[in-house]
Amino acid sequence: MSSIKMYLILTYYYLRFMLIKFFSKISLPISLISGLLGMGLIGWYIIEKNKMNKKNKKNRAHKISLAPKCYKNFDAQISDVRITNMCGTDLWIEARYDLGDGYGSRPIKGDKTAYKIKSGEHVDFDISEKGLVGARFWAKYGCNEEGKNCIIGDSSQYLGGGCPEKGCHIPVDSLFEATFGCSLSDKSQCNINPADQKPLSNETHFDTSQVDGFTLPYIVKIKGDSSELAKCFFQDPKNKDNPNPTIDGSGLDVKKCPTDEDFSYVIKDEHGNDKRITTVKDGDNVHDLTRVNLQLLNDDKTKIIGCISPCKKLNYPSNNNGFGQSESNRPGIWYCCPTPVSNPNEDNCTIDGNPPCMTSEACRKGPVVNSKYVQLLKRVAPYIYTFAYDDFAALNKCPAKTVKYEVIFCPPGTEYPKNV
């Protein structure tokens, strides 16, 4: 029995008793008193029931419209790029572009490069129709209220110069990068690509890069109508004719970072015999090449906060988690594959050349491909950049200004970081 029915029954008998006691003095029949009382209560019940039905109907309408509205507002992205924080802690999003003109990186919007977003929130960026060269987005956390002195992610100097007190971090950030194409019909109004000094094309080229390392797991959603997505080119075959294409880096887990990478190598000694090189020196520091730990720890060495790529481990200074080796010498040249800028004729590009260099083909057949780091990433995130000439796995493109990009850090199913 409902509470309202119980209330009506009890009220009926109580009022009946009181009314009989009162009206007995004027000799009204009990049946008449009961009838009047019953009709009054029934009328009151009908009025209250109608009020409740109207209220419930209004609440149901509100609930039905509210949830889809919130979902659509979140998903119906208007901006060109959205960065969403699904981690268990606040993130600061760095958003920069670099023209390669020696002036360093610049803010993508406004007069700052770092934007704080709480867990569950996002920040949006609009890109000019003229296009934009060298855009890069990454996350950092454990920062002060100015977005500085972070636990990880301060891999570039702050806008205006300067690094954290202990120096800029080794650049192992999980990274979304793009050169956004020009959508203007008048190409003379497009921004110039400094690589060839020509106006930007009408295509946006984008990827995620772990060439230097990785920190947070992520996914990148490419959003658009099926007709527009059909004009895109994706390296991942699962994205072909997929209404919801993604770049999936959700499998990145710093706890799985290799701890026993082998960078040792064999040379011929003065007698023509094989000699294995197992150590390298950086000043007074001697580093073992046979069991290299690529894990990056926080300052007090209690948490793994990143994974360093083979190239960055070899070429970064000893006082910043590296071995201080040149990219142009063994073993760095095999893992960094320096671009033959001074020797563009690949026929003459060899590791013994002057200067030493690696062709793209030699790099793809070299030891970097068989490193535990690259092999790990190819298993958990096969369509992201993992070494210098990994273009065939990672580089995607879409016509300019036809689709939207959303980078989600710590997507559902990933666990860290929390409570930093």
Confidence at residue 60, expressed as pLDDT on a 0 to 100 scale: 35
Domain spans of the chain? 3-74, 77-252+381-409, 265-293+305-369
CA 189 to chain centre: 32
Check whether 408 has a pLDDT greater than 90.
yes
Confidence at residue 262, expressed as pLDDT on a 0 to 100 scale: 96
Confidence at residue 352, expressed as pLDDT on a 0 to 100 scale: 72
% of the chain at pLDDT higher than 90 = 57
Confidence at residue 261, expressed as pLDDT on a 0 to 100 scale: 97
- CATH architecture under which domain 77-252+381-409 falls: Sandwich (2.60)
Q: Mean pLDDT across the stretch 305-332?
A: 93
Confidence at residue 106, expressed as pLDDT on a 0 to 100 scale: 86
Global pTM reads 0.78
Q: What is the pLDDT of residues 7-47, one digit of tens each?
A: 555 555 555 556 555 555 555 555 555 555 555 556 556 66
The answer to whether 133 and 99 have CB atoms below 8 angstroms apart is yes
Q: Mean pLDDT across the stretch 130-136?
A: 95
Length of the chain: 420
Tell which residue, 142, 90, 95, has the closest CA to residue 121.
90
Cα(280)–Cα(315) distance, integer angstroms: 11
- Rounded (10°) angle between helices 3-23 and 30-75: 150
Cα(61)–Cα(57) distance, integer angstroms: 6
**CB neighbour list of residue 12: distance below 8 Å, 6 or more residues apart:** 37, 38, 41
Q: What is the pLDDT of residues 145-184, one digit of tens each?
A: 999 999 999 988 887 778 888 888 999 999 999 999 999 9
Cα(148)–Cα(150) distance, integer angstroms: 5
Confidence at residue 105, expressed as pLDDT on a 0 to 100 scale: 80
Cα(49)–Cα(36) distance, integer angstroms: 20
Check whether 354 has a pLDDT greater than 90.
no
DSSP string, 106-124: EESSTT-SEEEE-TT-EEE
Confidence at residue 69, expressed as pLDDT on a 0 to 100 scale: 27
The Cα diameter of the chain in Å comes to 134
Residue with tokens 């100097």, as numbered in its chain? 157
Poorest-pLDDT segment among 49-58, 97-106, 232-241, 332-341: 49-58
The whole-chain average pLDDT of the chain stands at 83
Q: Mean pLDDT across the stretch 221-250?
A: 93
Confidence at residue 51, expressed as pLDDT on a 0 to 100 scale: 59
Q: Mean pLDDT across the stretch 341-365?
A: 72
C-alpha angle 135-109-144 in degrees, rounded to nearest 5: 95
Q: Mean pLDDT across the stretch 228-256?
A: 93
Instruction: Give the torsion sign (CA, 240, 241, 246, 250).
Output: negative
